[in-house]
Amino acid sequence: MAINIDICSDLGEGFGRYKLANDDKMLDIVTSANLACGFHAGDPCTMKKMVELTFEKGIGVGAHPGFPDRVGFGRRNMDLSYEEIYTDVLYQIGALSGFLQAKGANLQHVIPHGQLGNMAQKNETYAEAIINAIYDFDPSLIVFVQPVTPCYLKTFAEKKEMKTATVIFADRAYNDDYSLVSRKIEGSVITDENVVVNRSLRMITKNKVTTITGKELTIKGDTLLLHGDTNGSMLLAKKIKETLIANGVNVAPLGKWL
């Protein structure tokens, strides 16, 4: 049986005159794009441009809502209420969707960004607010979740019979409980090209990953995420994709096979 995988990246995370990654080139490689929605990064002009590019290239588009924290790039903890999380997420999904509708396109998925996503895996209030916002907007959207246990984001999505996809990280180290190693810890972001490529291939074809402590875990993902702001991300994504295809893996947008 063929192995299917989606390759996604967090894109559109510049704003105004500032650019964070080579989004245009990355879109020639990835099969899905997680687009910033204006809170942790992005702005209306950037969202419009990214939607136009993804539409031209047939890329699956996901909303990447985050904390209202540009200075911290959405990677700092925030203590928000259910209502704040719900309205922030719904607002951001709606903003990106407006640009998609103008092109006659639709959202494929939603993946909460940074600490919003990390906290939602284990915080019931955050998870419920996010899932309810997505469900109220469009219950057919795919929800990206992490392979942690328990994963409240997945639990609330399944209660509403929503489709979920497990996201695995090409360039981020894992703790023994499947959570991501804090970026404050050395080694949390893996930069060695050969390590990232071989690690990605092993996760997808062998369903195995070695944690930062050396423990081997079983892991199965639907989409492989490579951060667009990682040094050399474009060339790395290209090599990962070529390696996967050379090893018989079918690389395609989630919406075509999940």
Condensed to tens digits (0 to 9), the pLDDT of residues 122-146 reads 899 999 999 999 999 999 999 999 9
Domain ranges of the chain: 3-256
pLDDT of residue 135: 98
Pairing of strands 249-251, 32-36: unpaired
Report the C-alpha gap between 217 and 131 in whole angstroms.
Answer: 28
Report the C-alpha gap between 33 and 148 in whole angstroms.
Answer: 23
pTM check: above 0.75: yes
Q: What is the mean pLDDT of residues 199-217?
A: 97
pLDDT of residue 228: 66
Topology of domain 3-256, CATH = TIM Barrel (3.20.20)
